[in-house]
């Protein structure tokens, strides 16, 4: 877009099990349960790119109003969310994520919002080298405080209070950003995240046919993730699907079929007997209670596809 640099990869965060001892070194934000988006605004145009560079603009036409809310060309970092029962709900957002050009009825029934939490470029000036606190101050000066685009709050210092508030309001968790940190596109170096519920992004590596009422359909998915360059088995998931989800997954997996499992070492036969193997190109997200000693997920429940994730980026998160 005129006046703006090319693709800026979003800065990421490293998963931690607990808050750090030096909490006062961070600015704390709530972790929003949606889809990360880098927004480019120039003239009367808005362009929304996912974290892997996919253009999502047409999927969320109501966010085009951002162009009328800022004067100078800007690049912003944020999260697209669908709010249900007073909080962002990733399951509800699924109905919008995979629709390239949504009908007016779908837009009306499942509206989305853009929560903007960073300003990366303004006018003719890149802001990546500024401190987090300086970028936040400039973002707040934009006055993005009305639906469907808002600037959520941040809190310096005591992460315990913010984490406790996220639990009270049934939010996904918190993100800590060092107050003096610069924005490093595509890096995880300084930022941390603490989740209230355990989620994992994994690749679909196969599926096991269902029985009974699900005969001829997907009964469960066989999942995997990268450990370095090696693709490891990570468990199966058979709950959390609607009938529509199962049918949609069948259509998407059919052209990806292969004769053998894609794992670097064979998956346990007792868990994958009768599996139909596929190329590991589709990423999805699951919720789970814990990991077994070999890293597999226990009590996993499907949350939905993640088309904003490149297969090579899907790995086992520590913690």
Residues with a catalytic annotation lie at: 31
Terminal alpha carbon distance of the chain? 40
Pairing of strands 74-81, 301-305: unpaired
Q: How far is the C-alpha of 315 from the C-alpha of 227, rounded, in Å?
A: 6
Residues in CB range of 50: below 8 A, 6 or more apart? 35, 36, 37, 56, 307, 308
């Amino acid at each position: 877009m005129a006046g703006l640099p090319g693709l800026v990869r979003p800065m990421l965060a490293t998963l931690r099990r607990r808050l750090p001892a030096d909490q006062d070194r961070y600015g704390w934000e709530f972790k929003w349960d949606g889809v990360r988006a880098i927004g480019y605004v120039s003239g009367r145009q808005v362009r929304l790119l996912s974290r892997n560079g996919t253009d999502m603009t047409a999927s969320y036409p109501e966010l085009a109003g951002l162009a009328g809310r800022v004067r100078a060309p800007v690049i912003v970092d944020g999260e697209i969310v669908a709010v249900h029962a007073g909080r962002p709900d990733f399951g509800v957002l699924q109905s919008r994520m995979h629709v390239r050009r949504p009908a007016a009825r779908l837009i009306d029934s499942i509206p989305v919002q853009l929560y903007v939490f960073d300003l990366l470029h303004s006018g003719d000036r890149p802001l990546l080298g500024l401190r987090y606190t300086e970028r936040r101050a400039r973002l707040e000066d934009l006055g993005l405080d009305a639906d469907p685009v808002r600037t959520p709050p941040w809190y310096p210092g005591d992460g315990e209070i913010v984490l406790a508030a996220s639990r009270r309001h049934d939010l996904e968790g918190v993100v800590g950003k060092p107050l003096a940190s610069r924005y490093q596109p595509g890096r995880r170096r300084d930022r941390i995240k603490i989740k209230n519920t355990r989620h994992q992004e994994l690749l679909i590596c196969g599926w096991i046919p269902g029985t009974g009422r699900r005969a001829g359909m997907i009964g469960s998915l066989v999942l995997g993730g990268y450990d370095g360059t090696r693709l490891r088995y990570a468990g199966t998931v058979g709950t959390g699907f609607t009938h529509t989800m199962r049918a949609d997954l069948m259509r998407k997996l059919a052209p990806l079929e292969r004769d053998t499992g894609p794992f670097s070492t064979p998956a346990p036969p007792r868990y994958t007997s009768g599996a139909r193997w596929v190329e590991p190109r589709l990423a999805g997200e699951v919720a789970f209670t814990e990991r077994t000693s070999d890293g597999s997920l226990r009590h996993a429940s499907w949350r939905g596809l993640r088309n904003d994730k490149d297969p090579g980026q899907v790995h086992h998160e520590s913690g």
